[in-house]
Chains A and B, each alone.
Chain A
Amino acid sequence: MRYLPHTDSDRRDMLAAIGVADVDSLFRDVPESARLPGPFDLPRALGEMEVERAFQRMAVTNLSADRAPFFIGAGVYRHHIPAAVGQLLMRGEFLTAYTPYQPEISQGTLQVLFEFQTQVAAITGMDVANASMYDGATACAEAAVMACRVTKRAKVILSGSLHPHYRATTETSLRYTEMDADVLDPDPLGVEDLIGRVDSRTACVIVQNPGFFGGIKDLRPLAGACHAAGALLVVAVADPVSLGLVEAPGAMGADIVVGDGQSLGVGLSFGGPGLGLFATREKFVRQMPGRLAGQTVDADGKRGFVLTLSTREQHIRREKATSNICTNSGLCALAFSIHLTLLGGSGFARLAELNHAAAVRLESKLARMRGVRVLATSYFNEFAIHLGDGADAARVVERLAAKGVLGGVPASRFYPSYPELAPVLILAATETNTESEMDTLAAALEEVL
């Protein structure tokens, strides 16, 4: 077995050193009735070649995005990943290290996290960011709980602009607690009244910007209303590339910004793992969940980094911790950070412009089609369209797929109990989409409608 170095004679010698006759006697504390006499009746070990063959077979049955005109977003975005990202991620010292609990031999990971935190704070316009969480949805749930902790209130308002998975995950997190969620209907037109719902019981309002259906809002009035009522404003950002062009939530008054860093460096990977982004104001840092890297000095006075403020965390606070989270999404944070480093400030802004330009181009092609109505008046790289009364976007997407086109996500996939959303299709365009792919989509859509 290629991963197990022992030979049978190694095993014999070691058992002799221990002073037992066989390995089974090392398992003598296991109740006899629970011991298995031999291996399960399951497939036996395979060589690399056989495993590769099995995986190739499964992989090719998927229609991957590199083989189709691809316009799906809805929280997971396809951006080009520079070749250097993947190469650097495979450095074994990054890939095979544990959480940096021994800082003297983990300065690589720790400095990366410190840089990552600074990058996230910079793009979101916030003071501080943590070293990441599982994904955007869980980061959103953590923000709701943190807002309740900060305000000592229990009501969380979830906007209809919020990604349905972020909403559902947050609702689940509050389900058996003293906190509860006020969940608004999905809001494709961006007409909901959030300010009117904020009251003295409100811990926070959670909105997404750009919204799940694409719309971009100036959040300043909402932030003002939240703060006047003693509540916090939480802003979710599903595609952080948008922050190259859209006003930073921090500049619009957000108290907590969450998001998913998947769109930079991580790739689609069928939606997991993601990279939960979490940023807030300096004054709330001790209420924040998740790991934090901080700067300090070593015994020789040189700058170095450590994990810090860990008294917030479960291994010290146990049931009183700010969260039970015990990992971050370390390797994904590294991928995000490398990608953003390669882009730099100018590349980040240009990438955002390219995305927006692609979406504008796509909108202009679709808006010309009979029966199609673009619902969002503002958007970044994603918008919802209405395919006409009686149209079924889910069926349209299936027909597009049959033509080899991955043409967006039907809103009904998330909101099956809202018949008015049946004709709504959510489409994303990024820098990866060519003009001819957009023409292919438009032509295919024309045929199936």
Chain B
Amino acid sequence: MADTLTVSGNRALMIEEPLIFELGHPGRVGVDLPAPAPVDFDRLGGCRRSEPAALPDLAEPQAVRHYTRLSQKNYGIDTGFYPLGSCTMKHNPRLAEKMARLPGFADVHPFQPVGTIQGALEVIDSLAGWLKALTGMPAVAMTPAAGAHGEWCGLMAIRACLEARGQGHRRRVLVPESAHGTNPASAAMCGFSVDSIPAKDDGRVDLAALTAKLGDDVACLMLTNPNTCGLFESEIIAIAGAVHGAGAFFYCDGANFNAIVGRVRIADLGIDAMHINLHKTFSTPHGGGGPGAGPTVLSAELAPFAPLPFVVHGTDGFRLIEHAHDAPGHQPFGRIKGYHGQFGVFVRALAYIMSMGADGLRQASSDAVLNANYLLARLNDALSPSFAGPCMHECLFDDRFLKDTGVTTLDFAKALIDEGYHPMTMYFPLVVHGALLMEPTETESRETLDAFVAVVRALAAKAKAGQAEEFKQAPRFTPRRRLDETLAARTPILRWRPPADRQAAE
């Protein structure tokens, strides 16, 4: 782009930044460490490293500038509106960060004697208490590290329970076509087969089709509710009844719990197990892709099979159960990760929950649903909504409004980037063509929504006015323009190599 050429290649605040490997010079150091006492290395079992690790040497100011400049090439919630459907990009309170950094939480070890970590166990127990109360479920497995990990945990508990009942032959899991890809992947990891169930025209599970698929070999139904189209499964109680009637369990993907927390009790819906994404509903930061946490609430029937470890109340404070034989009456299906769960995420989630309180949590889900319906109402005539409202916390459009414009959902998303917005989720769920899934969240003001609506409407008008070429060029003002993903996948370059190595390889 000739109009943006500069001598340096930089564009004011947008500064080109090499890789750390291109910045290093031997002799520099970013951490001053004392000289080690002389040792003769005879304790290394004859396995002293032969080639030092090829890492670049930088001084602290270079490193700080490097990461600062890289951060400036990222869009975060702190930057602007991030209506990424099914991801819940809402404000991350900084109080939670401050609490997680208290030395009493950040600087304690999982294997200290339990007498020295009562406060840490209290955090886990308090958070577990809130999760149980907010869902009405009797038990919660706290250790799953993420939503998908929670799905697997819940399905493993179901499998273990079926085996204990002598019903190990139940191996089929029913999953709607609109489900997150993690659902079938998690089911496969438990040795289950996946059978997909269709949706009705209104975007909800077809109860008749589901009932027809039930049978003596079905282990469970996995259903996201509210579903991935942003709709509440209005027949959910009948669905639960049919599933239970067939002797199967009902797993709910709780990714969208944020729409209903404080307004609906999960236990009242007939759900046997559900994971809760703390990084969504309880606002812990996404961190560019984790870490999250996915505690999984369980019914009384599944509770005895919950994984190790877990916290219980002892006569002398909290106890940590790390072995099956310390928990009479329990038949844990195993351990699913190291240590005691995503503790740092627990602290943040609990700080958020205590800040919001029962009243604030209910207000948050109400405002999340209000905001999504407001977007739906204001964009109703400019885009093509896939389903009639009301929606829950997110609203789904498809690409019918772009028909014959030459503009695709992808182009539309890239144009939003140039306008200063993070795009909505594209091409998911798969059940509508060219999906645009918008989740505004409750932490966005009305002014933000109005400004976004104005931009989306203007872009839709532009597309319909035949200005496809402009969309194809977007984004134009970003640190990088559209990237060649085909090249990346055909000739994978997954690490930096020194120029000499590269020449040798060619």
User: Which A-chain residue is minimally distant from B111 (CB atoms)?
Assistant: A409
B53 touching A331, Cβ below 8 Å? no
Complex CA distance for A40 and B362, rounded to whole angstroms? 9
Contacts of B50 in A (CB 8 A): 247, 251
Complex CA distance for A122 and B51, rounded to whole angstroms? 10
Complex CA distance for A353 and B345, rounded to whole angstroms? 33
B20 touching A294, Cβ below 8 Å? no
A416 touching B148, Cβ below 8 Å? no
Question: Helix, strand, loop or mixed for chain B's interface?
Answer: loop
Known A105-B75, A165-B339, A308-B492; judge A99-B19 contact (CB<8 A).
no
A112 touching B237, Cβ below 8 Å? no
A169 touching B113, Cβ below 8 Å? no
Complex CA distance for A95 and B284, rounded to whole angstroms? 10
Known A11-B370, A55-B102; judge A216-B56 contact (CB<8 A).
no
In the assembled complex, the CB of B157 is this many whole angstroms from the nearest CB of chain A, namely: 11
B95 touching A329, Cβ below 8 Å? no
Judge whether A287 is part of the interface by a CB distance below 8 angstroms.
no
* Interfacial residues of chain A within 323-378, with CB under 8 A of chain B in the complex: 323-332, 334, 338, 340-351, 353-354, 356-357, 359-361, 363, 377-378
* Interfacial residues of chain A within 119-143, with CB under 8 A of chain B in the complex: 119, 121-123, 125, 127-129, 131-132, 134-138
B484 touching A98, Cβ below 8 Å? no
* Interfacial residues of chain A within 273-313, with CB under 8 A of chain B in the complex: 273-274, 285, 291-300, 302, 304-306, 308-309, 311, 313
User: Which A-chain residue is minimally distant from B90 (CB atoms)?
Assistant: A3
A172 touching B74, Cβ below 8 Å? no
Judge whether A221 is part of the interface by a CB distance below 8 angstroms.
no
Contacts of A57 in B (CB 8 A): 119
B92 touching A217, Cβ below 8 Å? no
Contact of A269 among B71, B77, B344, B378 (CB under 8 A): B344
B71 touching A93, Cβ below 8 Å? yes
Contacts of A118 in B (CB 8 A): 19, 21, 495-496
Judge whether B466 is part of the interface by a CB distance below 8 angstroms.
no
Known A42-B130, A274-B338, A398-B115; judge A324-B152 contact (CB<8 A).
yes
* Interfacial residues of chain B within 324-344, with CB under 8 A of chain A in the complex: 325, 333-344
* Interfacial residues of chain A within 96-123, with CB under 8 A of chain B in the complex: 96-100, 102-109, 111-112, 114-115, 117-119, 121-123
Known A19-B377, A271-B338, A348-B55; judge A306-B488 contact (CB<8 A).
yes
A40 touching B338, Cβ below 8 Å? no
* Interfacial residues of chain B within 18-32, with CB under 8 A of chain A in the complex: 19-21, 24, 26-31
User: Which A-chain residue is minimally distant from B4 (CB atoms)?
Assistant: A300
A29 touching B101, Cβ below 8 Å? no
Judge whether B457 is part of the interface by a CB distance below 8 angstroms.
no
User: Which B-chain residue is minimally distant from A92 (CB atoms)?
Assistant: B78
User: Which B-chain residue is minimally distant from A270 (CB atoms)?
Assistant: B343
Contacts of A58 in B (CB 8 A): 104, 119-120, 122-123
Judge whether B296 is part of the interface by a CB distance below 8 angstroms.
no
B interface footprint on A37-48 (CB within 8 Å = 1, 0 otherwise) = 011111111111
In the assembled complex, the CB of B167 is this many whole angstroms from the nearest CB of chain A, namely: 13
Complex CA distance for A76 and B117, rounded to whole angstroms? 16
B interface footprint on A212-235 (CB within 8 Å = 1, 0 otherwise) = 000111100000000000000000
A324 touching B335, Cβ below 8 Å? no
User: Which B-chain residue is minimally distant from A11 (CB atoms)?
Assistant: B370
A324 touching B185, Cβ below 8 Å? yes
Contact of B49 among A6, A26, A247 (CB under 8 A): A247
B30 touching A342, Cβ below 8 Å? yes
- The count of A-to-B residue pairs whose CB atoms sit within 8 angstroms is 713
Contacts of A91 in B (CB 8 A): 67-68, 71
Complex CA distance for A323 and B182, rounded to whole angstroms? 9
Judge whether B10 is part of the interface by a CB distance below 8 angstroms.
no
In the assembled complex, the CB of A434 is this many whole angstroms from the nearest CB of chain B, namely: 11
A345 touching B343, Cβ below 8 Å? no
A175 touching B334, Cβ below 8 Å? yes
B70 touching A112, Cβ below 8 Å? yes
Complex CA distance for A268 and B112, rounded to whole angstroms? 11
B64 touching A52, Cβ below 8 Å? no
B74 touching A103, Cβ below 8 Å? no
Known A309-B492, A354-B36; judge A319-B194 contact (CB<8 A).
yes
* Interfacial residues of chain B within 39-87, with CB under 8 A of chain A in the complex: 39, 41, 43-58, 60, 63-64, 66-68, 70-79, 82, 84, 87
Complex CA distance for A361 and B339, rounded to whole angstroms? 29
B45 touching A270, Cβ below 8 Å? no
Complex CA distance for A262 and B27, rounded to whole angstroms? 27
Q: Among the listed stretches A59-67, A146-154, A191-199, which one makes contact with chain B, having 4 or more residues with CB under 8 Å of it?
A: A59-67
B355 touching A106, Cβ below 8 Å? no
Complex CA distance for A353 and B289, rounded to whole angstroms? 33
User: Which A-chain residue is minimally distant from B236 (CB atoms)?
Assistant: A31
Interface residues on A, range: 35 or more
Judge whether A440 is part of the interface by a CB distance below 8 angstroms.
no
Contacts of B325 in A (CB 8 A): 416
User: Which B-chain residue is minimally distant from A316 (CB atoms)?
Assistant: B181
A243 touching B289, Cβ below 8 Å? no
A115 touching B20, Cβ below 8 Å? yes
Judge whether B215 is part of the interface by a CB distance below 8 angstroms.
no
Complex CA distance for A94 and B335, rounded to whole angstroms? 31
B148 touching A326, Cβ below 8 Å? yes
Judge whether A5 is part of the interface by a CB distance below 8 angstroms.
yes
Judge whether A21 is part of the interface by a CB distance below 8 angstroms.
no
Judge whether B487 is part of the interface by a CB distance below 8 angstroms.
yes
Judge whether A156 is part of the interface by a CB distance below 8 angstroms.
no
Q: Which of A137, A316, A344 counts the most chain B CB atoms within 10 A?
A: A344
Known A62-B104, A177-B189, A360-B43; judge A300-B481 contact (CB<8 A).
yes
Known A23-B370, A88-B68, A97-B288; judge A104-B478 contact (CB<8 A).
yes
Q: Among the listed stretches B244-252, B401-409, B440-448, which one makes contact with chain A, having 4 or more residues with CB under 8 Å of it?
A: B440-448
User: Which A-chain residue is minimally distant from B478 (CB atoms)?
Assistant: A104
In the assembled complex, the CB of B209 is this many whole angstroms from the nearest CB of chain A, namely: 19
B390 touching A28, Cβ below 8 Å? yes
B interface footprint on A1-38 (CB within 8 Å = 1, 0 otherwise) = 11111100011011101111001011111110111101
Judge whether A245 is part of the interface by a CB distance below 8 angstroms.
yes
Complex CA distance for A396 and B267, rounded to whole angstroms? 45
* Interfacial residues of chain B within 179-199, with CB under 8 A of chain A in the complex: 180-182, 184-191, 193-194
In the assembled complex, the CB of A132 is this many whole angstroms from the nearest CB of chain B, namely: 8
In the assembled complex, the CB of B210 is this many whole angstroms from the nearest CB of chain A, namely: 17
A interface footprint on B343-371 (CB within 8 Å = 1, 0 otherwise) = 11101000100111111111110110111
Judge whether A248 is part of the interface by a CB distance below 8 angstroms.
yes
Contacts of A46 in B (CB 8 A): 354-355, 357
Contacts of A377 in B (CB 8 A): 43, 45
Known A260-B338, A345-B56; judge A15-B181 contact (CB<8 A).
no
Complex CA distance for A413 and B308, rounded to whole angstroms? 14
Judge whether A448 is part of the interface by a CB distance below 8 angstroms.
no
Judge whether B314 is part of the interface by a CB distance below 8 angstroms.
no
A107 touching B105, Cβ below 8 Å? no
Known A94-B288, A128-B495; judge A325-B370 contact (CB<8 A).
no
Known A14-B370, A114-B495; judge A42-B357 contact (CB<8 A).
yes
B360 touching A323, Cβ below 8 Å? no
A172 touching B358, Cβ below 8 Å? no
Contacts of B374 in A (CB 8 A): 14, 17-18
In the assembled complex, the CB of B214 is this many whole angstroms from the nearest CB of chain A, namely: 20
B116 touching A247, Cβ below 8 Å? no
* 25 pairs, CB–CB < 8 Å, chain A vs chain B: A5-B444, A6-B370, A29-B392, A56-B104, A98-B289, A102-B75, A104-B480, A104-B482, A128-B494, A138-B145, A245-B41, A245-B48, A269-B105, A270-B344, A272-B345, A296-B484, A296-B487, A306-B485, A314-B181, A319-B193, A321-B181, A321-B185, A324-B152, A331-B285, A379-B43
A-B pairs with lowest CB-CB distance, top 10: A59-B104, A271-B339, A331-B287, A271-B110, A92-B78, A172-B334, A378-B45, A342-B30, A330-B289, A273-B291
Q: A330-B286, A356-B44 are in contact. List 15 more A-B contacts (CB 8 A).
A: A18-B390, A42-B133, A55-B105, A63-B108, A65-B107, A95-B78, A97-B76, A100-B288, A103-B483, A115-B496, A163-B338, A269-B105, A319-B187, A326-B180, A327-B290
